[in-house]
Amino acid sequence: MLAHLPILQVIVPLMAAPACLILRKPKLVWLFTLLASSLAFIISILLLQQVMVADTISYELGGWSPPWGIEYRIDKLNAFIALIISGVSTVVLLAAQTSIEKEIPEDKQTLFYILYLLSLTGMLGIVTTGDAFNVFVFLEISSLSAYSLIALGKDRRALWASFQYLIMGTIGATFILIGIGLMYQMTGTLNMADLATRLPEVAETRTVTTAYVFFIVGVCLKLALFPLHFWLPNAYAYAPSIVTAFFAATSTKVAAYLLIRFTFSIFGISFSFTTLPMETLFLVLGLLGIFIASTVAIYQDNIKHVFAYSSVAQVGYMIVGFSLSTHAGLTAMLLHMFNHALMKGALFLALAAIIYRVGSARIADFQGLGRQMPLTMAAVVVGGLSLIGVPLTVGFVSKWYLVVAAIEKGWWWVAGLVLLGSLLAVIYVWRIVETAYFKAPMAGRQPVKEAPMAFLVPVWLLVSANVYFGIDTRLSVEIATAAAKGLFGVAQ
Amino acid sequence: MTTILGLYNYWIVIVLMMIGFYIIIAHGHLIKKIVGLNIFQTSVFIFYISVGKVEGATAPIWQEGIILYSNPLPHVLILTAIVVGIATTALGLALIIRIKEAYGSVDEDDIQAMDNQDMVNQDKEQQQC
């Protein structure tokens, strides 16, 4: 049983998805989905434990040995990401039934859970597989279900946002397909470990450069790296609240994982950062993303938009860490991926609670909520503080590592700009806090009650994780450092 | 000259890809966008298929006296990609039907204009409160 964990990680949610159709009753389906997601979470914990001891686990699908058969290869990096995805998914699901009761018609609720599980399958599949073409297939599984999930939003603009995402996402996925095709053409293999040994032999050719560029552009579209982020804000803002919480915490992490995996383990750091000017390119795009997206976030009226733009900015921080191309920089990036999942999960889930009670997430509706929904708003405040990077929250930990990594590399000005970017976050978080706590409720609006327990429990689970991992950083830092070390071990 | 003509399969791929890409960007009609997307994807399918072809080889079916076979793997891969492409097209068209019902239009500019109008209306509502 334990030997089959890598495939179970993907198979459990995949098989659970069609099984939902048999259960039919939304409540039952919800419990079943929760069970499947928790199982995936437990599997990912077990896998992480295994790889912290043994270095990598290689699983041969159907007993066909790689590179001919498909291999699932788990190391510290993807075990860590799988843990983030399945963990957030499980916590978010706790609130799902209560939230979608108000947002999705009853006959579509079962379908919602099926799509949710398929999306989870896709993301976990991308992360666990060791086969380049498998990445594309799982990417499309997760994307197609994501488009449908977003289109379930109540507002008609959800449809348009979903369509725009479909066009952009398909272009991105096709670019990735071209990249993989070119790699196969040059090496005759699709196995990632095999690619890693064969690509350096042909690294001087233009085809390999083209393959890398196509692949990276495709991934950056999925990552919503500035300036390829246009699909993201509307998709997040008009999707059902639970979907937003799930995607904001996980989907960009998956794309970031692909970026790391292909740049560091497959093409190798000397190719991507020495032969190609990726360092400058990513640094500039990352910093531009931080500043432009944070500034746009300040002027948004819908709080979902505020946090969506803030997500684009947070991707910028990850990419800055990536562009440092040092062990410390990569550790900072991985930490930020973990921490960002915690804070955005908490914030969007708190927003879901507010939408459940108030019916909208416009800033004007936040007036007086500090009194009416004290626990939910307190969660927003802690999440916001974490977003800014205040000490004792996880946001501080990853920004600290990022700044230290930049200084270590001798890029003082980058460290300065990262800190300056955090000040912009202060502005948009303060706007929400000010409206919620210091403005009287709008005249004529019915006072609302505190959010139900179904929301408060998962929200506060994530919020306390924000604080816990902000104080006791041993676990997250140890895993991130070990994962980063593993990548540099392969690359050099 | 021979290399340019000899690599004609790649030229077809590039031309198709650019046609598809151009349609996606330049056309406001949503169904035309989906058609563009299809042409774009098809170009990649052709790319994979032509990569698997070995000159002078036959189809990869075992037969007495034949030693040279084309590589079947890219063909199999692209079978998967075609299925994905169909799923994407179907989903795209389904979305267009819903968009037509909700907006009464399938033109990008019209939809964008209506979305902007929605924003303005909401602001007005807010002020009246």
How does pLDDT run across A72-108, given as a tens digit for each residue?
989 888 899 999 999 999 999 998 888 888 888 888 8
Using a CB-CB cut-off of 8 Å, the residues of chain A touching B41 are 170, 174
* pLDDT tens-place string over residues A330-352: 899 999 999 999 999 999 999 99
- Comparing CB atoms, the residue among A160, A162, A442 nearest residue B111 is A160
- Comparing CB atoms, the residue among A170, A181, A442 nearest residue B129 is A442
- Rounded to the nearest 10°, the torsion over CA A233, A239, A242, A247 is -50
Would you state the pLDDT for residue A491?
A: 44
Would you state the pLDDT for residue A492?
A: 40
Please compute the mean of the pLDDT values over residues A31-35 and round it to a whole number: 92
Asked if the Cβ–Cβ distance from B41 to A174 is below 8 Å, we say yes
- Rounded to the nearest 10°, the torsion over CA A200, A203, A209, A211 is -50
Domains of chain B: 2-128 (1.10.287.3510)
Position A40 pLDDT exceeds 50: yes
Asked if the Cβ–Cβ distance from A181 to B44 is below 8 Å, we say yes
Token representation of residue A197:
């040994």
Instruction: Please report, for chain B, how many H helices and E strands are present, in that order.
Output: 5, 0
- Comparing CB atoms, the residue among B44, B115, B129 nearest residue A160 is B115
- Comparing CB atoms, the residue among A163, A171, A184 nearest residue B99 is A163
Taking 3-state DSSP, the helix, strand and coil percentages for chain B, each rounded to the nearest 5, stand at 75, 5, 20
- A167 touching chain B per CB within 8 A: yes
Min Cα distance A175 → chain B (Å) is 9
For residue B127, what pLDDT band results from cuts at 50, 70 and 90? low
User: What are the φ/ψ torsions at residue A65 (nearest 5 degrees)?
Assistant: -75, 145
* C-alpha distance from residue A298 to each of A103, A239, A380, B68 (Å): 27, 21, 16, 64
Asked if the Cβ–Cβ distance from B77 to A362 is below 8 Å, we say no
The per-residue pLDDT of chain A, averaged, comes to: 88
Min Cα distance A163 → chain B (Å) is 7
Using a CB-CB cut-off of 8 Å, the residues of chain B touching A170 are 37, 41, 88
Cα Rg for chain A, rounded, in angstroms?
A: 21
Contact residues for A247 (Cβ-Cβ < 8 A; gap 6+): A146, A149, A235, A236, A239
Q: How far apart are CA B43 and CA A94, in angstroms?
A: 44
Query: Which of A371, A373, A391, A231 shows the shortest CA–CA distance to A311?
Result: A231
Min Cα distance B64 → chain A (Å) is 25
Do A265 and A488 meet the contact criterion of CB atoms below 8 Å apart? no
Q: What is residue A95's three-state secondary structure?
A: coil
Tell the residue number behind the tokens 């998967």, with chain if given. B80
* pLDDT tens-place string over residues A251-303: 899 999 999 999 888 888 878 777 778 888 899 999 999 999 999 999 888 88
Question: Regarding beta strands A57-60 and A71-74, do their DSSP bridges make them parallel or antiparallel, or are they unpaired?
Answer: antiparallel
Would you state the pLDDT for residue A177?
A: 94
Asked if the Cβ–Cβ distance from B122 to A364 is below 8 Å, we say no
Other residues' Cβ atoms within 10 Å of the Cβ of residue B17:
20
Would you state the pLDDT for residue B126?
A: 59
Contact residues for A53 (Cβ-Cβ < 8 A; gap 6+): none
Tell me, what's the ipTM?
0.92
Please compute the mean of the pLDDT values over residues B88-113 and round it to a whole number: 91
Would you state the pLDDT for residue A242?
A: 92
Using a CB-CB cut-off of 8 Å, the residues of chain B touching A167 are 24, 33, 37, 92
Do A156 and A237 meet the contact criterion of CB atoms below 8 Å apart? no
- Comparing CB atoms, the residue among B51, B87, B111 nearest residue A185 is B51
Listed by start position, the domains of chain A span 2-491
Min Cα distance A2 → chain B (Å) is 30
Other residues' Cβ atoms within 10 Å of the Cβ of residue B57:
14
pTM over 0.90: yes
